[in-house]
Amino acid sequence: MTKQSLVLRTVAFQLLLLGLASMAAARDRVAVFDEVAGMLEEQFYDPGMAGLDWARVTAEHRARIAPDMDREAFAAEVNGMLSRLQTSHTWLYTPDDPAWYQLAGVFMPAIPELAAELGPHLSNGAPAYVGIGVMTEQRAEGYFVTGVLHGHPAERAGVLVGDRLVAVEDAPFHPIRSFLGREGEEIAVAIERRPGERLTLTATPAVLDGRTMFADAMRASVRVIEHPEARIGYVRVWSYAGQVYQDILTRALLYGGLKDADALVLDLRGGWGGASPVYLNLFTDQAMTFTSIRRDGTAVTFGSGWAKPVVLLVDEGARSGKELIAHGFRSLGIGPVVGETTAGAVVSGMLNALSDGSLLYVAVADVTVAGARLEGRGVTPDIAVPFDAPYAAGADPQLERAVAVAAERVENRTRQ
């Protein structure tokens, strides 16, 4: 298949999606609202609905639903209702949001029924969208970049954390609509790096598959940072939802490019959670080494775990299973935690497909960690480094501090 025919097929598919969106907009929003309310009553982990008079709450919000209201307005109204539960993992996502594709990619491999239900809304069975690979936060001034996925088009184009995404081809930026049908096309992306400082970058959007994009970015993030005192390994875990991510980390540390690093900065900022507490077993003082000696005398030594210094990097976007890891680092004394207090989003969630193709995330179980409840509290870092992304121009004081702390621990270990 030629590149031109592939682009034409992509455009055709995006037009089909727009058609489906129009059909969904004509669908009775009240019926979909009733789906949401019913699922919440059946699945929400607290039968007391967080102490709310839930019948009154749902009636209040239902009265504001118009049968033909647009999708974004409908989602805003529903999420206004869900936010009253003051519980994480409880939200409505639509295909207008990259999180729709990313969460579908997280859950579909484990839930075949979800893949079947979302089938009409997927391209060849994939929760994929066209984009440049950025994580964004919408504020009053617009969309700001909070993360640039390693190895993705935005990184190649020179987009930096803190940039305000102003426009794409002279149209206001939108994380989904700006790139519809533009896979493989060089496009102009206008950014504001600092207040009043406008730049135009050239980016080439690509198809981003929610099932694989974060694993690809994690592999691309692996590197060694040369510090005057030590060689510091670095990995960014954008999502921790599955064994594949732990396998990438294990291979990099024990057999790959970070094997000979003196210390590690494990970056869990932003993205999605999903980590299992057993992942902490990789970091142990009881690690053994074994050496393979070839006929020519060449020797290669491997470890059974990472026993060298490690620093954990977190922020307010580190959520869910990542917070279990952060709590474990502190309580087990594995290594210092640097950054900001984590999200405090530690319950178990279930993803539901609605009849209009939206996804409803519902908190279905409360979670405690060694008897402590982290929901609404989060994990406080050992070394606090505040950071606000807008107009940062790529600066990363949290990473700089984490690298310095890792180097200090290497130096202290050498002196002992």
Residue 192 lies in a domain: yes
The count of structural domains within the chain is: 3
For residues 53 and 104, state if they share a domain: yes
Please give the structure tokens belonging to residue 368: 């405690």
For residues 154 and 16, state if they share a domain: no
Residue 86 lies in a domain: yes
Q: What is the DSSP string of 84-150?
A: GG--SS-EEE-TTSHHHHHHHHHHTTT-HHHHHHHGGGSBTTB-EEEE--EEEEEETTEEEEEEE-T
68's CB contacts (< 8 A; 6+ apart) are 25, 26, 29
**Domain of 252: which CATH number?**
3.90.226.10
Last residue of a domain, one of 173, 193, 208: 208
Query: Distance between CA atoms of 62 and 33, rounded to whole angstroms?
Result: 7
For residues 255 and 304, state if they share a domain: yes
Residue 354 lies in a domain: no
Residue 181 lies in a domain: yes
For residues 263 and 400, state if they share a domain: yes
Task: Identify any residues that bridge with 358 across adjacent strands, giving them in sequence order.
Answer: none
Last residue of a domain, one of 121, 140, 157: 121
For residues 182 and 272, state if they share a domain: no
Residue 351 lies in a domain: no
Domain that holds residue 49: 3-121
Q: What is the pTM of this model?
A: 0.90
Do residues 29 and 68 touch, judged by C-beta distance below 8 A? yes
Last residue of a domain, one of 175, 208, 241: 208
For residues 182 and 283, state if they share a domain: no
Residue 169 lies in a domain: yes
The tens digit of pLDDT for each residue in 273-306 reads 999 999 999 997 665 556 677 877 776 665 668 9
Residue 352 lies in a domain: no
Query: Distance between CA atoms of 312 and 354, rounded to whole angstroms?
Result: 37
Query: Distance between CA atoms of 58 and 50, rounded to whole angstroms?
Result: 14
For residues 220 and 201, state if they share a domain: no
Do residues 326 and 268 touch, judged by C-beta distance below 8 A? yes
For residues 285 and 389, state if they share a domain: yes
416 residues of the chain, pLDDT tens digit each: 444 444 445 444 554 554 444 444 435 899 999 999 999 999 999 999 999 999 999 999 999 999 889 999 999 999 999 999 999 999 999 999 999 999 999 999 989 899 899 999 898 889 999 999 999 999 999 999 999 999 999 999 999 999 999 999 999 999 999 999 999 999 999 999 999 999 999 999 999 999 999 999 999 999 999 999 899 999 999 999 999 999 999 999 999 999 999 999 999 999 999 999 999 999 976 655 566 778 777 766 656 689 999 999 999 999 999 999 999 999 999 999 999 999 999 999 999 999 999 999 999 999 999 889 999 999 999 999 999 999 999 999 999 999 999 999 999 887 76
Q: Which of 333, 324, 312, 344 is nearest to 275 (CA)?
A: 324
For residues 276 and 389, state if they share a domain: yes
Q: Which of 202, 208, 177 is nearest to 188 (CA)?
A: 202
For residues 160 and 296, state if they share a domain: no
The tens digit of pLDDT for each residue in 333-348 reads 999 999 999 999 999 9
In terms of C-beta density within 10 A (0-12 exposed, 13-18 middle, 19 or more buried), how is residue 140 classed? exposed
Query: Distance between CA atoms of 212 and 128, rounded to whole angstroms?
Result: 10
For residues 221 and 258, state if they share a domain: yes
Query: Distance between CA atoms of 5 and 313, rounded to whole angstroms?
Result: 44
**Domain of 147: which CATH number?**
2.30.42.10
Residue 273 lies in a domain: yes
297's CB contacts (< 8 A; 6+ apart) are none
